[in-house]
């Protein structure tokens, strides 16, 4: 049984269709990436999953049915809009939020000690939230999401505002939670983190699911769409090339338009006297390349 | 239900721990204690052990005749003088604090002169002389007549159907409804402000989305309202307790009228207070949900507060013409009913039909406003930085209705 099933949901705000016929499933024990550019409809989709918004059409099933009060206690949600009581002390704030999820105060207090130590916030438990740095507030927000030991985590930009050390810590914790059998839905723009953590993704663009499946399979499907080049000269203005990125001195990554033939690109390169090609190979694209390719090709299709 | 109590306890603790609350709650008892001390000092200053003198040219007074006294009641000694010269000498000598001259034609004119040196005797002392005079004038009347004339008239107003009655003699019957009105207004103003702040704080702190996935809106809003009601009742409870304590202490020094528990007033206050408070809390929730920040909300909430305190502007009309159409309207209108009924309670009888209709209307209005507030809250909780327009609210309510009907 899927932990989350989103089935053909749509939501409009006035004339703006925020989400259109989006469907996906999230399975127990997986890290699922909910991706998309800004304003794509990710947050609206999450809010429909959590019954904050009701969909105009379609259905959402959480833990095998409609979301109710008991199921809410099994969900940890870290929204895009971070929220803690700024003029209150850290410890009572986190305990209060955990008790609202059905955890007793004593259990919450015991768990909180561990989390505060792990996030290096133990010395700040009696500080007001507003006196903490942005990174500390972010860590506190993550603790608020985890303190009641949820079975389903929905986290929006979990690495925002964190330094590399804390980013690594959060990554490790997410991985640990997956190993414990928790289900994690992660929304982020940091594609390398998605690549490192997620089993499967859905990419939403302009309210529609445009890519959905296992990360490895998606990368294999897009393998023909990326090229690694080494050489000299100007590699811009090549037919069928969507984006050219300079990696270092003599290395470039090229993202091809959907349906473009790499052989045509090679022929075009060889025909140009101003470039010298030392290496030309098909590259497995990064998730970021795929993201850009898909989003831009949809934009072009819309403009056409 | 557990979450509702959690929210209520949290809100309560947050506010009662604030310094501003402590200052507010202790400020009033401090004021009461100061007033009490001043009253006692003034009373003690009035009560002098020195006798009063009198010169009775009308031959009406006998020093052996005294008014009927309650057990333990003090009464100033009256000393007769044959003429004004000897009375003046006693005054100059400090034997008496003042003396009265009752002229021969007193029965025709009713005029009496009082003489004192620098300090005029207090009202209580003067009242002692007039009680003495009244007792002497009535001395030849039968005892029952004496007592009746001495105690005056006690009017008890009764409704024609016998459903309610009111005793006008006891000043507490008049004062307590005013105190109830004042406390209600205080709770309305205070809790409404807190309620607005509690809702806008959630928006400003961006905590709404987390709370929305933890508990039902009704638990959140109900819990906040309950917690804030607890804050208001704590504050008023401390004040009432201090007031009662002050009355007990003062009664040792000053003669007080008997204080009976005003059961009928308590019943009507209890019946009307909760729905009226729920109405205020719901309106404040709706306002807090629709605006972007607290400052914006305060401007609108000021108008709502006015709706609840409106009867105070009509207090003269309520006193003079309690059955006028305006007063009847204020009695029935949900936001004004509580204060109007409380004010009328001390002055005249509110007809039973008005009480029943008014209660039904205020309960209905409270339920409707809770329903509306829950929907506006759900709608407005995620609209950070942009207020909800009435048009938007109406359109969304229609949408929500259709969603509900489709379910």
| CA A74 to chain centroid | 21
Predicted confidence (pLDDT) per residue in B314-368, tens digit = 888 887 788 889 999 999 999 999 888 888 877 777 888 899 999 999 999 988 8
> Which two structure tokens, joined as six digits, stand for B212?
């929305």
A266: enclosing H helix or E strand? helix A262-270
**Greatest extent of chain B over all pairs of C-alpha atoms, in Å:** 101
| pLDDT at residue A110, rounded to an integer | 92
Q: Contact, A193 vs A170, CB < 8 A?
A: no
Identify which of B205, B224, B228, B211 has the alpha carbon closest to the alpha carbon of residue B373.
B224
| pLDDT at residue B160, rounded to an integer | 63
Q: Which segment of A98-112, B127-141, B202-216 scores lowest on mean pLDDT?
A: B202-216
Quick one: how many helices (H) and strands (E) in chain B?
A: 16, 6
Calpha distance A108→B15 (Å, rounded): 23
Q: How many CB contacts within 8 angstroms connect chain A with chain B?
A: 55
Chain A residues touching B207 at Cβ < 8 A: 83-85
Q: Contact, B400 vs B380, CB < 8 A?
A: no
Least CB–CB distance from A86: residue in B10, B205, B209: B205
User: Is some CB atom of chain B closer than 8 A to the CB atom of A270?
Assistant: no
Calpha distance B297→B316 (Å, rounded): 32
Radius of gyration of chain B (CA): 30
Predicted confidence (pLDDT) per residue in B220-234, tens digit = 888 888 888 888 888
Identify which of B198, B230, B235, B326 has the alpha carbon closest to the alpha carbon of residue B29.
B235
> Which two structure tokens, joined as six digits, stand for B402?
């259709």
Is residue A297 predicted with pLDDT exceeding 80? Answer: no
Is residue A273 predicted with pLDDT exceeding 90? Answer: no
B75: enclosing H helix or E strand? none
3-state helix, strand, coil in chain B (%, to 5): 65, 5, 25
User: Is some CB atom of chain B closer than 8 A to the CB atom of A72?
Assistant: yes
| pLDDT at residue B407, rounded to an integer | 33
Predicted confidence (pLDDT) per residue in A152-165, tens digit = 999 998 888 888 89
Q: Contact, A254 vs A262, CB < 8 A?
A: no
Calpha distance A48→A58 (Å, rounded): 10
User: Is some CB atom of chain B closer than 8 A to the CB atom of A12?
Assistant: no
| pLDDT at residue B168, rounded to an integer | 58
Identify which of A161, A216, A192, A204 has the alpha carbon closest to the alpha carbon of residue A298.
A204
For B201, nearest residue in chain A (alpha carbons):
A85
pTM equals 0.69
- Where are the strands (E) in B76-121, listed by range? 78-81, 98-102, 113-115
Picking from A63, A78, A83 by the largest number of B CB atoms within 10 A of its own CB, the best residue to mutate is: A83
Is residue B88 predicted with pLDDT exceeding 90? Answer: yes
Q: Contact, A217 vs A31, CB < 8 A?
A: no
Please name the residue that has the structure tokens 């839905």.
A185
Is residue B403 predicted with pLDDT exceeding 60? Answer: no
Chain B residues touching A152 at Cβ < 8 A: none
Predicted confidence (pLDDT) per residue in A216-267, tens digit = 888 878 777 788 889 988 888 888 888 888 888 788 888 888 788 888 889 9
Chain-wide mean pLDDT for chain B?
80
Chain A residues touching B211 at Cβ < 8 A: 100
| Minimal C-alpha gap between B326 and chain A (Å) | 44
Q: Contact, A30 vs A178, CB < 8 A?
A: yes
């Amino acid at each position: 049984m899927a932990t989350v099933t989103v089935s053909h949901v749509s939501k409009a705000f006035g004339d703006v269709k925020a989400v259109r016929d989006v469907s996906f499933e999230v399975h127990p024990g997986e890290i699922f990436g909910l991706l998309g550019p800004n304003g794509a409809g990710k947050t609206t989709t999450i809010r429909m999953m959590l019954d904050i918004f009701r969909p105009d059409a379609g259905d959402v099933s959480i833990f095998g049915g409609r979301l109710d009060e008991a199921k809410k206690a099994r969900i940890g949600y870290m929204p895009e809009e971070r929220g803690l009581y700024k003029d209150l002390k850290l410890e009572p704030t986190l305990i209060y939020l955990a008790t609202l999820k059905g955890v007793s105060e004593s259990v919450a207090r015991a768990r909180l000690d561990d989390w505060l130590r792990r996030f290096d916030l133990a010395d700040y438990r009696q500080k007001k939230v507003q006196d903490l740095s942005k990174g500390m507030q972010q860590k506190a927000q993550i603790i608020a999401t985890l303190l009641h030991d949820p079975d389903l985590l929905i986290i929006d930009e979990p690495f925002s505002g964190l330094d590399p050390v804390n980013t690594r810590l959060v990554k490790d914790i997410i991985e640990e939670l997956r190993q414990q059998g928790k289900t994690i839905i992660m929304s982020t723009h940091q594609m390398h983190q998605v690549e490192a953590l997620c089993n499967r993704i859905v990419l939403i663009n302009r309210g529609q699911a445009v890519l959905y499946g296992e990360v490895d399979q998606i990368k294999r499907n897009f393998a023909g769409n990326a090229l690694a080049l080494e050489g000299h000269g100007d590699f811009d203005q090549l037919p069928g090339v969507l984006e050219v990125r300079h990696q270092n001195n003599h290395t470039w990554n090229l993202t091809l338009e959907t349906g473009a033939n790499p052989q045509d690109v090679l022929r075009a390169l060889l025909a140009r006297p101003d470039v010298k090609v030392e290496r030309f190979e098909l590259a497995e694209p990064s998730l970021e390349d795929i993201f850009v390719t898909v989003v831009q090709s949809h934009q072009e299709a819309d403009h056409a | 239900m557990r979450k509702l109590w959690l929210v209520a306890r949290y809100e309560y603790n947050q506010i009662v721990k604030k310094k501003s609350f402590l200052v507010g709650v202790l400020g009033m008892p401090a004021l009461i204690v100061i007033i009490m001390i001043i009253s006692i000092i003034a009373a003690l200053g009035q009560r002098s052990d020195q006798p009063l003198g009198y010169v009775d040219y009308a031959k009406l007074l006998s020093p052996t005749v005294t008014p009927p006294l309650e057990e333990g009641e003090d009464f100033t000694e009256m000393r007769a003088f044959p003429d004004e010269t000897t009375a003046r000498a006693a005054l100059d000598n400090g034997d008496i604090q003042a003396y009265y001259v009752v002229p021969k034609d007193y029965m025709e004119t009713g005029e009496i002169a009082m003489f004192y040196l620098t300090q005029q005797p207090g009202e209580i002392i003067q009242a002692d002389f007039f009680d003495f005079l009244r007792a002497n004038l009535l001395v030849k009347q039968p005892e029952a007549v004496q007592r009746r004339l001495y105690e005056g008239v006690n009017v008890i107003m009764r409704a024609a159907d016998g459903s309610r009655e009111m005793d006008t003699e006891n000043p507490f019957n008049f004062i307590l409804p005013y105190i109830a009105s004042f406390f209600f207004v205080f709770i309305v103003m205070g809790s409404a402000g807190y309620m607005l702040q509690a809702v806008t704080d959630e928006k400003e702190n961006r905590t709404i989305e987390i709370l929305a996935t933890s508990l039902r809106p009704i638990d959140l809003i109900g819990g906040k309202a309950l917690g804030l009601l607890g804050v208001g009742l704590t504050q008023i409870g401390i004040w009432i307790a201090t007031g009662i304590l002050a009355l007990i202490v003062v009664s040792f020094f000053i003669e007080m009228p008997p204080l009976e528990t005003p059961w009928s007033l308590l019943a009507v206050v209890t019946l009307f207070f909760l729905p009226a408070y729920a109405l205020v809390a719901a309106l404040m929730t709706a306002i807090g949900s629709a605006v972007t920040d607290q400052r914006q909300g305060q401007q609108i909430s000021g108008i709502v507060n006015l709706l609840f305190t409106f009867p105070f502007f009509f207090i003269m009309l309520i006193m003079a013409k309690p059955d006028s159409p305006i007063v009847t309207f204020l009695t029935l209108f949900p936001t004004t009913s509580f204060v109007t009924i409380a004010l009328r309670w001390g002055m005249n009888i509110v007809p039973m039909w008005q009480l029943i209709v008014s209660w039904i209307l205020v309960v209905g209005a409270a339920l409707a406003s809770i329903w509306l507030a829950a929907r506006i809250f759900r709608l407005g909780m995620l609209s950070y930085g942009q207020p909800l327009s009435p048009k938007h609210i109406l359109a969304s309510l229609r949408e929500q209705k259709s969603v509900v009907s489709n379910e």
